[in-house]
Amino acid sequence: MELSSLPLHRRLQIIVFALFCSTFLLHATTVVYHQLNTAGVLRFLSAHLLLTTITSLSAAFLLCLHLRSRAYPVFLLNYSCYQPPADRKCTYDMANDFILHGARFTSPEPVEFMRNIYRKSGLGNDTYAPPFMFEEGQIPTMKSSIQEAEEGIFSVVDSLLSKTQILPEEIDAVIVTCGCFSPSPSLSSLIVNHYNLNPDVKTYNLSGMGCSSGVISIDLAAQILRGGGRKIRNVLVVVTENITLNWYEGEDRSMLVTNCIFRVGCAAAMITNDPSRRSSAKMELTHSLRTHHGADDSSYHAAFQKEDMNGVTGVSLTKDLIRVAAVNLREHIKILAPKVLPLSQLVSYAYSVVATALYGGQCKPVMPDFMTAFEHICVHTGGKAVIEQVGRVMKLSDSVTEPARMSLNRFGNTSSSLVFYELAYFEAKGRVKRGDKMWMIAFGTGFKVGSLVWKWIRDSEPELDNPWNDSIDKYPLKI
């Protein structure tokens, strides 16, 4: 067994024991020479023994401080994505019938607008709609919202616990994120109640963070694990969204877009700092970064929940959203790049910045090649235009953005869980190998940008609950 795989206290014991063993052997050698009455050698060894002892103790003390100051490693033990039943598929015909019969529009213009958005959205016929759209009356209620939440959450958590063999009583903290649905009791309380978790379990509920909250919740789990030591070992992260009570029935075009691209989705992940589980984990988190650009008014209002002129609540996605995403992505990259890029790319980028300054801004800085740092990138699957913009800004090829485009086609924008469906695509295709580095990036209201950098610990293996299992053979599609 490797030393690095042992718990911290065990590593300290072994290292300190080895240092004192070497000191003891040197002391024994001195005694032997003393019995031989070799005075000169004795004096030399005595002095050497004193120096070695002081050095060994000092080294042991400094090593203890170093190991205790190091952050605990954080691993993704496993994850699960929700796949609703086949009879919940939101085909074009089903969506069209719902809009015509269930929605309450005073004119045909909103219907035609949504039809055009849907056709250009990049979504296919296999995405999933919430339960209320298939019920008689098609009226969104609190009861149907709870049903949507429970179906997704219980499905993914059950699957995750089965795969990881983590018992409910072994869960030390629960993080739940859902952008636009915050019932009372909270969704984290729903999980505590359903799985009978321990009374001392730590719970966190995140809301209002949009599509970035899945990445942000993993970052929060990492911060908790790195600061909790042996008291907190396993953190259950559940990332979901709720469409039922957020369906917009007004006629503001900026708010109607959400009806066209958001679909049902949910994911759960088990994050741990237990080194004994490293060999069974999928990935290790090497870097995480969150940047918040809400101080800028245009960024703050780019995606905004409000009431329209008639008092109907919805989320407005402004025309400025794509520009805001590009600008804030560049700012985010400036902070992340020095931590992940090879030196050659950093030098090239620095040279282009200097050249831009010297030529008075006539040329723009060269975007670093992030594929020199990563084998795979999970690009934010917020929509067709967002994926294209990220590709343009970062100079990514179609093969790099393929998983994002295919995830959008198959599952739509599932908000906070979108990066996990994309991760499942990589695994279903068998593309990830041990040692590969993967970058997850997502945007959210506020405006926030989040990044996770992972290193794969083992080759990906087929999972029975992978949501792509029934359709992966027909992907990638030409969209």
For residue 363, pLDDT beyond 80 = no
> Of all residues in the chain, what percent carry a pLDDT higher than 70?
83
Burial of 263 (0-12, 13-18, 19+ CB in 10 A): buried
SS3 annotation, 58-89: HHHHHHHHHHHHCCCCEEEEEEEECCCCHHHE
Q: With cut-offs at 50, 70 and 90, classify the pLDDT of residue 1.
A: very low
Is residue 325 within 8 Å of residue 372, measured between CB atoms?
no
pLDDT for 42 beyond 60: no
Q: Does 67 have pLDDT greater than 60?
A: no
Give the pLDDT confidence score for residue 195 in this predicted structure. Answer: 97
| Identity of the amino acid at 366 | V
The span from the CA of 372 to the CA of 351, in Å, is: 18
Phi (first) and psi of residue 304, to 5 degrees: -145, 130
- Around Cβ 421, how many Cβ atoms within 10 Å? 28
**Catalytic choice (34, 194, 287, 292):** 292
What phi, psi does 43 have (nearest 5°)?
Answer: -65, -40
At 417, the pLDDT band (50, 70, 90 cuts) reads very high
Q: Is residue 378 among the annotated active site residues?
A: no
* Residue 289 pLDDT: 95
Question: Is 116 an annotated catalytic residue?
Answer: no
Reported as a single tens digit per residue, the pLDDT across 428-475 is: 999 999 999 999 999 999 899 999 999 999 998 889 999 999 999 999
Query: Which one-letter amino acid corresponds to residue 459?
Result: D
Say which of 81, 178, 180, 211 is annotated catalytic: 211
- DSSP-assigned letter for residue 132: G
Q: How far apart are CA 251 and CA 323, in angstroms?
A: 24
Q: How confident is the model at residue 88 (pLDDT cuts 50, 70, 90)?
A: very high
Q: What is the pLDDT of residue 210?
A: 87
User: Is 376 a known active-site residue?
Assistant: yes
pLDDT digits (tens, 9 = 90+) for 5-18: 444 555 555 655 55
Average pLDDT, rounded, for the chain: 86
pLDDT of residue 51: 56
Determine the pLDDT at residue 14.
62
241 Rama sector, left if φ>0, alpha if ψ -120 to 50, beta otherwise:
beta
CB atoms within 10 A of CB 341: 20
CA 281 to chain centre: 15
For 190-209, what is the mean pLDDT? 95
211 catalytic residue (yes or no): yes
How much of the chain exceeds pLDDT 90, in percent?
Answer: 58
Q: Tell me how many degrees the CA angle 161-167-168 measures, rounded to the nearest 5.
A: 90
Q: According to the model, what pLDDT value does residue 228 have?
A: 66
Q: For residue 2, what pLDDT is reported?
A: 43
CB 417 within 8 A of CB 240: yes
Going by the DSSP 8-state scheme, the letter that residue 71 receives in this structure is P
- φ, ψ for residue 187 (rounded to 5)? -65, -30
Q: Mind giving me the DSSP string for 443-478?
A: EETTTEEEEEEEEESS-----TT-TTTTTGGG-S--
DSSP for residue 262? B
**Can you say whether residue 311 is alpha, beta or left, with left for phi > 0 and alpha for psi between -120 and 50 degrees?**
left
Decide if 266 is catalytic.
Answer: no
Tokens 């019920």 correspond to what residue?
135
Distance CA 14, CA 3 (A): 9
The catalytic position among 242, 409, 413, 466 is 413
Place of tokens 């919202």: 145
Query: In this structure, what token pair is assigned to residue 70?
Result: 């190091």
CA geometry: angle at 151 spanning 150 and 156, to 5°? 95
Question: Which residues are CB-neighbours of 475 under 8 A, at least 6 positions away?
Answer: 406, 409, 410, 425, 468
pLDDT(214) > 60 = yes
- At 56 the pLDDT is 58
pLDDT at residue number 66: 46
| φ/ψ of residue 312, rounded to 5 | -90, 130
> According to the model, what pLDDT value does residue 4 have?
45
pLDDT class for 3, splitting at 50, 70, 90?
very low
Range scoring the smallest mean pLDDT among 109-118, 259-268, 292-301: 109-118
3-state secondary structure of 443: strand
The per-residue pLDDT for 32 is 52
| pLDDT of 470 | 93
Q: Which of 180, 380, 409, 466 is catalytic?
A: 380
Catalytic residue among 332, 376, 378, 466: 376
